Structure 1
Amino acid sequence: MLNKEQIKKLPKVELHDHLDGGLRPQTIIELATTYNVPLPSKDPDALAEWFARGCVQKSLPLYLETFDVTVAVLQTPEALRRVAIEAVEDLASDGVVYAEIRFAPILHTAKGMSMESVVESVLDGMDEGKRRTGMSFGTILCSLRNQDPAISLEVAKLAVAYRTRGVVGFDLAGDESGHPPKKHLEAFQYIRNQNFNITIHAGEGFGLESIWQAIQVCGAHRIGHGTRLIDDMAINGITIEKMGSLAHFIQDRRIPLEMCLSSNVGTGAASDFPSHPFNILFRNNYRVFLSVDNRLMSNTTLSKEMEIASQYYDLTIADLEKITLNAMKSAFIHHNDKIRIIFDVIKKGYAQLRSEWDLA
């Protein structure tokens, strides 16, 4: 098992990271001062603890409440550009070589910005982050389940319009219960007709029906979380003895599952790390990988997620490499770009580290 310092050096791929869930506490304080947004504390450490309290207390309402603050300070082009730059810098400093960062443009229009201006501000910031760090990126535009489906269609069209500028996909997020993705079917059909990419939050707060509908009705190419997929399995230890048709379909079609350990335990989607389904799915050849979800609210990094997985699931360097390759294969960029990163960055990086650490 690798130690903390070794894990941080590993090349990583991050595909489920919410922009408004990963701000630096000091940045929040400075933006809140500029834009007169009230905060529970102006001490960075105390503020970080306040943001993480929902995860610590396993309270989804507390977890979600904190987004009101981060969204409130992200209502200008300057603020969005700044946090986009910092997101790339923070991920790159954690060893991430490719990331897809997602955000819901509609949430940043409260003070008059258009959704186009929101997207351009984030992309400008991420371009600058790439210039500073060399980290490759894509962005995913989110719509929200509880909003008017007409907004989802507008966001879908926006995603396609910016596909040559760095937007690589479309996502539906928000509370699953009572808000089925099929209500937003027109947006998904538009994305599919444009040969574009879809990921949907599903199987986190609701069961198999949510995952099935995301894939079979809405055409999702990836699933965000998907923890409830194990409801379609008979399990003995970490061995799957029997699978239903949905579990077979997802395994057979290599549909990727974006798994977020700290977030899932913190929001109650999983009871604890030992019982989280990641290890069962990984050991039984599902295309799963690790993601942060919300670095601030879950007090995590991708290195920390790998540390947790290594501790609870006895992952080796070969396992961590496989997880990273699973993620890169699942990225929403073009095939030749994936191959370049896989061979020139990830495999090369792991080989160099194995040699440096004298590992087989």
Structure 2
Amino acid sequence: MMNRYPFPKVDLHLHLDGSILPETAWELAQKVGAPLPADSLEGYKAYIRRAVNCGAVNEYLKLFDLPLAILQQPEHLTRVTRELVELLHRQGVAYAEIRFAPQLHTREGMTQRQAVEAVLRGREEGLAACPGMEAGILCCMMCVGPEAVNRAANAETVEVTAEYLGKGVVGLDLAGAEGIDPLSAFAPLFRRAAELGVPCTCHAGDSQGPDTVRDAMDMGARRIGHGHHIFDDPALCRRAAAEGIALEICPTSNIQCRTQPSYGEHPARRLLDMGIPVTINTDNMALAGVSLEDEYDHCVNEMGFTERDLVEMNRNSVRAAFLPEEKKAKLLAALEPFR
């Protein structure tokens, strides 16, 4: 187990399809006959390393074509979820929220419910092998074009999330390509989630500006996926601090997608100093080639954070987690000796 940072670690922003072990992706691609971008496993790993530095979020999203091609069978979803939980446990992660979009796994006949159940089986199998660890599943609605394109699928995701809430599913997200439609176009989905008591996070303020963060906050999201461009609106920063809106910062992803120019220029440290609950996360662990400890190295060596800041940001993660209060209290107590 890695222990450069021996305190309990929390990852709130982690995509399942971006965190498949390359060896597993290679094996499953051959099994289902999916086209591969290389002639060998090592070539595939090299392709990933090249492709992640493409420089644009919407281009980066093309990297998910292969993972989605191999995740159309329930047993594959179960396996990659189990393997991710086990990997996180080896890395000293005490709690993770793993997110995926059920609607993206229905191409070959699975329903959204069956996709959720397959992921939940993998979660259960992984946690059974990893005593002391906790993990929750976030279901993602998707922005794949104009809001109307997949309105019915997104509406179904809200209902399915509510159905499995408390059974391993912990909340709802909106992910995908930013800037195609105004984020506010998705407001009815968030209103329905609120009616059903489903807690929400929302991708915003990554490739787009602070207005998307405002929209997400106005729609009821208590956490923002990425959200770092809120820094461009000081008044909105003050509002986020006052309302306790947590930012799910993913430093390496932001650099790879060129949504921030460098680790040193990333505003995460300044956002924390403003009183905003900043959290540090990996986003797409396998594609980005990072662990939480790698992100922490960047935080300490290039972004102006101290190790004590890392502990405090993990406390922010615990408080922002979609967890019962008694489990939050247990995690906070485990972090206390490291403050």
Category of TM-score, reference length = shorter chain: over 0.9
Q: How does 1:1-360 map to 2 (within 5 A)?
A: 6-134=3-131, 135-145=133-143, 146=145, 147-216=149-218, 218-233=219-234, 244=235, 246-343=236-333, 345-348=334-337, 350=338
CA-atom RMSD, angstroms? 1.7
Contact preservation (8 Å) 1:14, 1:290: yes
Cα 1:9–1:55, aligned 2, differ >3 Å: closer, same or farther? Answer: same
Contact preservation (8 Å) 1:140, 1:171: yes
Cα 1:87–1:42, aligned 2, differ >3 Å: closer, same or farther? Answer: farther
Task: State the alpha-carbon separation in 2 of the partners of residues 232 and 105 from structure 1.
Answer: 34
Q: Structure 1 length as normaliser, TM-score?
A: 0.89
How far residue 127 of structure 1 moved from its aligned partner, in angstroms, is 0.7
Task: State the alpha-carbon separation in 2 of the partners of residues 231 and 315 from structure 1.
Answer: 21
- 1:346 is aligned with what amino acid? L
Q: What SS does structure 1 have at the residue aligned with 2:76?
A: helix
| 1:25-74 C-alpha deviation (Å, 9 max, x unpaired) | 11011101111112122533321221232333424354221100000000
- 1:47 is aligned with what amino acid? Y
Task: State the alpha-carbon separation in 2 of the partners of residues 20 and 5 from structure 1.
Answer: 23
Task: State the alpha-carbon separation in 1 of the partners of residues 50 and 62 from structure 2.
Answer: 10
Contact preservation (8 Å) 2:280, 2:295: yes
| 1:111-164 C-alpha deviation (Å, 9 max, x unpaired) | 111111100000000111001112201110001123422221110110010012
Contact preservation (8 Å) 1:18, 1:293: yes
Q: Structure 2 length as normaliser, TM-score?
A: 0.94
Contact preservation (8 Å) 1:172, 1:181: no
Contact preservation (8 Å) 2:246, 2:276: yes
Unpaired runs of 5+ in structure 2?
Answer: none
- Deviating runs (4+, > 4 A) in structure 1? none
| 1:213-272 C-alpha deviation (Å, 9 max, x unpaired) | 1111x1111000111111113xxxxxxxxxx2x221101111100000000111111011
- 1:281 is aligned with what amino acid? L
